[in-house]
Amino acid sequence: MTRRVVVVGGGISGLAAAWELTGGAEPAPDAPAVVLLEATAHLGGPLRTDEVGGRPVDMGPDGFLGRRPEALDLCREVGLGDELVPVAARGASVWARGRLRALPEGHALGVPTRFWPTARSGILGVRGTLGLARDALLPRPDLRGPIGDRAIGPLVARKLGQRVVDLLVDPLVGGIHAGAVDDMSAAATFPPLLAAAQRRGGLMRNLRAEVPAPDPDGPPLFWSLRSGMASLVDAVAAGVRRRGAEIRLSAPAERLERKAEGWTVWSGGASTDADAVVLATPAPPTAALLRPHDDEAAALLDGIDYASVVVATFRVPADAVPADLYGTGFLVPRRSPPRTPGGDPWAVTACTFLDRKWQHLARADEVLLRASLGRIDDTRPNGWSDAEIAARAWEELGALMGLTGQPSESTVVRHQAGLPQYRVHHLLRTAGVEAAAARLGGLAVAGAALHGVGIPACIATGRSSVRAL
């Protein structure tokens, strides 16, 4: 009997699941028949690469962490090993106290682990630095003892002061999720911080023990692909097709029906029978598909909300940009004072110096800048036209980094509901959903809503969902 598995969702998580189902590193002769259903006309979700000035420029994720192996492994397995490019610049800045200031050495996702480099950075000012001094000399005990989860913002504020949260931790950790650390789960997004906070003694010292300092001579921390991140999507899709999998585009799964053994998946009036189903979709469609079978799992998924993000990419003549750009870019803290008292808050949350970060994008006569806008608590860009977003982003970049003139080209790409928010006790939510899927049988869940939004974590959920089946 031929077994068949339907994968719902053609983002990187669903593609990784399809790859694993067809054998993973080695094609499996006894692999089940695989059908992948993708609602839209393209695969890869936010992984999109466009040509800008003759270069392949990413409009969504522009790279991935190498500290975890999953993305590097997948790239090599699908034949892209020679296409991998390491990050070319180190360091970044943050907009603090009226100008861009280099992030200090010795921080873990923005949480300082050493007093002096952070004090010298000038980011925190005297009042903010006092909080660090107190943690080094007279650390505040943890009032609550070991518990399963805490909100990152209040946890760090209690130990190191609110300015550390506002100027360092929120821009870095919050920025990754386009969220806010005020109610973000430490257990789900930064487990070493939770472990460090629950030990006796200073947070900075405990975190030093939990997170080994990056080895300057070690392998690069961040990687990309010479032809852009969409080349990973294309290579995985081509690989699974070569192994006999069928990929159906513009084919949203609308309903799951339980059979005596297995499932029927309905899409556009057509049904596909399957022995097993992987749901690699964002939380809202996963909830809708699960609701008739387990309304509690659906309710747990309904509790995950999403932030929308917009990226504006600019080709800029080199002479319009200050010569002393530092590192890979800069972050603009959420609670930065507006440019004029009582004025409109900054809309730009971050800027990446794309051609400094990735050497293969560099040209002598121009610079590639990418501004990010939009967060869970700033939905203003949703109401602006592309032209308004480009104009606003350019004007703010001018004020933040001293640009002159005009860009020679700008591109605006929207990622509607692009990033799930992991609120406190997120892991209880995901455990409940995974347990419900296991109870139903022949069903597994994957995707960015579960165990990390980064590409390696998404690939891991895709591949492990197959093993769970």
Cβ nearer to ligand FAD, comparing 164 with 245: 245
- Shortest Cβ 253–ligand FAD spacing (Å): 4
- Shortest Cβ 251–ligand FAD spacing (Å): 7
- Shortest Cβ 450–ligand FAD spacing (Å): 8
Report which DSSP code applies to 67.
Answer: S
Cβ nearer to ligand FAD, comparing 243 with 414: 414
Q: Where are the beta strands (DSSP E) in 346-398?
A: 348-353, 366-373
How far apart, in Å, are the Cα atoms of 153 and each of 164, 248, 306, 396, 397? 9, 43, 19, 27, 27
- Shortest Cβ 248–ligand FAD spacing (Å): 9
- Shortest Cβ 12–ligand FAD spacing (Å): 5
CB under 8 Å to 264, separation ≥6 — which residues? 256, 257, 271, 272, 273, 274
Question: Which amino acid belongs to residue 344?
Answer: D
The answer to whether 15 and 236 have CB atoms below 8 angstroms apart is yes
Cβ nearer to ligand FAD, comparing 10 with 128: 10
Cβ nearer to ligand FAD, comparing 63 with 104: 63
How far apart, in Å, are the Cα atoms of 34 and each of 6, 173, 272, 311, 403? 6, 37, 11, 34, 51
Rounded-to-integer distance, Cα 189 and Cα 271, Å: 38
Report which DSSP code applies to 82.
Answer: G
Cβ nearer to ligand FAD, comparing 5 with 320: 5
- Tokens encoding 329: 């870019």
Count of C-beta atoms within a 10 Å radius of residue 368: 24
CA angle at 234 for the pair 386 and 80, rounded to the nearest 5°:
115
- Shortest Cβ 76–ligand FAD spacing (Å): 17
Cβ nearer to ligand FAD, comparing 57 with 280: 280
Cβ nearer to ligand FAD, comparing 203 with 433: 433
Rounded-to-integer distance, Cα 85 and Cα 222, Å: 9
**Residues that bind ligand FAD in the complex, under the rule CB under 6 A:** 8-14, 37-40, 45-47, 60-64, 252-253, 280-282, 285, 309, 311, 415, 418-419, 447-448, 453-455, 458
- Shortest Cβ 217–ligand FAD spacing (Å): 24
Q: Where are the beta strands (DSSP E) in 123-226?
A: 222-225
Cβ nearer to ligand FAD, comparing 132 with 287: 287
- Shortest Cβ 47–ligand FAD spacing (Å): 6
The answer to whether 205 and 193 have CB atoms below 8 angstroms apart is no
